[in-house]
Amino acid sequence: MTPTPQESTSAHMYEVESSDPRSQLVDRSELSPEEIAHISKLMKTLSALRETEQALSDASQKYMKLGAQDMRALHYLIVAKNRGELVQPGMLSSYLDISKASTTKLLNRLESGGHIERQMHPMDRRAMAISVTPSTEASAMNTVGKQQASRFHAAAKLSRAERDVVIRFLEEMRQGLSVENADWARP
């Protein structure tokens, strides 16, 4: 069966020859065709991982009927609980990098959905403490938590030296992709 033009283009999205045919961005003169193909396979695999992570994120948000910011807030609350830390609204504002007004709206939405509880802070009666409800924590652990645990299992299968290579690679990728390094993104 002959692929459609869309399928053909999609299959070549992460091949450097297709995205940079004149070597304007990537000098590959020192690389063999086999090395270039292997690097392209790595880039395609990274793309597939991103797509899978996005699909998982979308599915978990749909399942829990929450947005991305809500999910980040719940994750923060679960981690804080596991560490024995009490969360106040300002801590959540800071973590999510949102205003106090936006935090109040987020907390109201999560509370009305039965995802969080607000209590008086046990050490400071003027402050509020926020916690995730047991049912939301269980839902998160049985859905997103189980899926994310597979990352740990995949990493555990690697030797320490292999993990060091992956860490170095991912850190170099992250640095190269950061907004701070993008000339076009600077004010």
Cα gap 48→74, rounded to integer Å = 26
Place of tokens 């995730």: 132
Cα gap 139→63, rounded to integer Å = 9
Number of residues that make up the chain: 187
**What does the buried/exposed string (b/e) look like for 139-154 if buried means 16 or more CB atoms within 10 Å of the residue's CB?**
bbeeebeeeeeeeeee
Q: Mind listing the pLDDT tens digit for each residue in 122-159?
A: 888 888 999 999 999 998 888 888 888 888 999 999 99
Give the model's pLDDT for residue 186.
66
* Topology adopted by domain 68-140: Arc Repressor Mutant, subunit A (1.10.10)
Residues of the chain with pLDDT under 70: 1-9, 11, 185-187
Average pLDDT of the chain to the nearest whole number: 88
CB 39 within 8 A of CB 17: no
CB 69 within 8 A of CB 96: yes
Q: Are strands 128-132 and 116-120 parallel, antiparallel or unpaired?
A: antiparallel
56 token code pair:
């998982």
